[in-house]
Amino acid sequence: MGQVGAGLAASVKAKIINAPKRTEYVKLGLLLPNQGVVFGATTVPELLELAEQAEASSVFESLWVGDNLLAKPRLESITLLSALAARTKICRLGTACMASFPLRHPVILAAQWGALDVLSDGRTVLTACIGGGPTRGNIAGDFESEYGAMQINPAERVARMEEGIKVLRTLWTEDPATFKGHFFNFNDVAVRPQPIRKPCPPIWIANNPWVFGTKKSGTINRQVDRVASLADGWMTVGATPEQFNTAWQEICDAAKSRGRDFNQLENAIYFNLNLNDDEPAAYRESKQFLDEYYSSDWPEWKVNVWTACGAPEQCAERMRAFKSVGAQTMIIRFTSYDQKPQLKRFLEEVAPLL
């Protein structure tokens, strides 16, 4: 785990805010690395088999896939989730996260996601996000080319995401629906069949308000407010337990100030694992995986924050730190080129320790 990782696990005990909690246990989700099909980390049959094994274990409650259209090529998310809907029966199915949300026309997305919800018998979770930006470097992929190809101004991506969420809810709760917005306008539009979930499939927002520092700022406030006012849940990645807890408390407080029941909101932390008793080897494989996945040279500190590397007990300790501060769902991605042995060892040696 290294000094940075060990310090993170220990420091959470020193300073914890009592964020609202709904459960005494943490739900587990598995991230299927659909971008790995492009750079050779896995294959389509392996992905589908991994999903079936995860559901059969009864340990994982949800299955997730990443999303981009052009910037970070991968198996398209809705298409893959449709295949998973046919291969599974119980696990929730979601995006972690839909970075292409601002690029997708919400009327088309409403029809596609509504059909997915029907095919999966109401098991979907749509996690929207604004995707990468030019200030984030290579981790965002070929950001400008993606927006240029779609003829959409990247400066509009926040506003498009916010309005798109409102369009989806309108189309899924009104039949026919009328909407008047800045980007989208339509009268008497009906999307059928309507989704199974009522009033509509849950829509989460993924963002990282802690990334902008510990002091309150306009950017932090807007990210918090976005979740509190528009979303059914919140997902984040790359946070320490303390950062996660602080942001979640702020989201719950903001929801309460708007008259919303914050106990109805869900949260999730997206977290990486590499199980190997040889800790340096686990770190090296994780860094290589992340470098290829994001087309970026990851510094050591960032690998250590995003990833638990090492023996099962070390990894379980990192996960328990998030559980202790109110994480409701932990979405696990194995930063390994050999996914099945990682899953097997997780089920046998890590899950019992949580």
As for how many domains the chain has, the answer is 1
Domain that holds residue 338: 2-353
d(C-alpha 241, C-alpha 238), whole Å: 10
pLDDT of residue 18: 42
Q: What is the mean pLDDT of each run of 10 residues along the chain (354 residues)?
A: 46 40 77 94 96 99 96 95 99 98 98 99 98 54 84 96 99 98 99 98 95 63 96 98 96 96 97 98 98 92 97 98 98 97 98 97
pLDDT in tens, 219-236: 778 999 999 999 999 999
Given phi > 0 = left and psi -120 to 50 = alpha, else beta, which region is 58?
left
pLDDT of residue 222: 93
Which CATH number belongs to the domain containing residue 210 in this structure?
3.20.20.30
> Residues 346, 316: contact at Cβ < 8 Å?
no
Entry pTM: 0.91
Q: E-assigned strands of the chain?
A: 27-32, 62-67, 92-98, 124-128, 177-180, 185-189, 203-206, 233-237, 266-275, 307-310, 329-334
